[in-house]
Amino acid sequence: MSHIDDPFTQKANLAYIKDSMEAPMLSREEEEALAKAWVEDRDQKAMHKIVNAHRRLVVSMANKFKNYGLPLGDLIQEGNIGLMQAVERFDIEKEVRFSTYATWWIRSTIQDYVLRNWSIVRTGTTAAQKSLFFNLRRLKAQIDSQDNFNDALTSEDVNFIADELGVEVRDVEHMNGRMSGGDQSLNSQINDETREEWQNFLADDGPTPEDVVTHMKDSKSRSEWLNSAMRMLNDREKQIIRDRYLRYETVTLETLGDQLGISKERVRQIEKRAMEKLKINLETSVENPSDYYSLM
């Protein structure tokens, strides 16, 4: 997947980058004083000076991820969110430079953005998968001495990458396959020589129109036969067959016995006799009885 900004957006991005790179940098003492004013007094001006001075850090980090085909302006905006989170969470007691602390937040928010938007299919959900996603390019370049995701990996290459990153071999193979081919519309043509679209070759596991019509016809035939056959039974036999076979929840022999005032064994005998009557009717009135035995 790739994205090319329109000329207006490119111009706006360049202006923002230029402004960010020209912002004055802070000395350690200035940084500490501003951070203290923000953390202790919530001084908005101090916070804005810190953010303004470190926008160049966001631009630098965003450029490291521009090869993933996402808009540079969006990467910068996500990095700015990380910068703001770093300002909010910065602890002056840790005695660490703000730039060092902010780098982690900026990189993290940009990485999350890339993972969410690089493909319409979620790419990395675990820490190991994220590490694999962002390091696979580097390790393949190290193996092949070139940055080319289209080259197939040998089994030795896959094992090397898996060992380097501490992930499963199957994860490396899956991620390499995912990153070798970007998203593609099912409505796009397979090639310039045919009008066939990719979706035309998707298998449909559902029933065919013929299957649907046949099923409807068979269901209607079964229903007509069953209604006719049930007329051969007496009222008690009808009740037992309905409650035992034609209801959503089957009624037990014991429950039917209590309802009819007879023993459970007697219900079973009547049920067996009724089923034999239905079978006899089926064999004498239906052309292919085997098609209906599922009801018996």
DSSP letters for 9-40: HHHHHHHHHHHHHHSPP--HHHHHHHHHHHHH
Residue with the larger pLDDT of the pair 225 and 202? 225
pLDDT for position 279: 83
pLDDT at 154: 81
Distance CA(105)–CA(91), nearest Å, equals 14
Pair 106, 57: CB distance under 8 Å = yes
Please give the pLDDT value at position 34: 93
- φ/ψ of 204, rounded to 5, equals -105, 110
DSSP bridge partners of 189: 197
Higher pLDDT, 274 or 284: 274
Query: Of 62, 51, 60, which is closest to residue 23 (Cα–Cα)?
Result: 51
147 pLDDT band (50/70/90 cuts)? very low
pLDDT over 60 (residue 146):
no
Query: Is CATH 1.10.10.10 the right assignment for the domain spanning 209-295?
Result: yes
Share the mean pLDDT of the chain.
80
Topology alike, domains 1-118 and 209-295: no
| pLDDT at residue number 290 | 61
Asked whether 286 and 292 are in contact (CB, 8 A), the reply is yes
Under CATH, to which class is 1-118 assigned?
A: mainly alpha
Q: Does residue 282 contact residue 225 with C-beta atoms inside 8 Å?
A: yes
User: Number of C-alpha atoms within 13 angstroms, CB side, residue 26?
Assistant: 23
What is the C-alpha separation between 119 and 115, in angstroms, rounded?
A: 8
pLDDT exceeds 80 at position 212: no
What are the domain boundaries of the chain? 1-118, 123-186, 209-295
Residue 150 has pLDDT above 50, yes or no: no
- Percentage of the chain beyond pLDDT 90 is 30
When pLDDT is cut at 50, 70 and 90, the band that residue 149 belongs to is very low
Task: Write down the residue that tokens 């076979």 correspond to.
Answer: 245
Cβ atoms of residues 110 and 85 within 8 Å? no
Q: For residue range 54-113, list pLDDT tens digits in order.
A: 999 999 999 988 888 888 899 999 999 999 999 999 988 888 899 999 999 999 999 888
| Residues 253-263 pLDDT 10s | 999 999 999 99
- Supply the pLDDT for residue 107: 92
Q: Which region among 71-80, 117-126, 148-157 has the lowest average model confidence (pLDDT)? A: 117-126
Which of 65-69, 138-142, 187-191, 225-229 has the weakest average pLDDT? Answer: 187-191
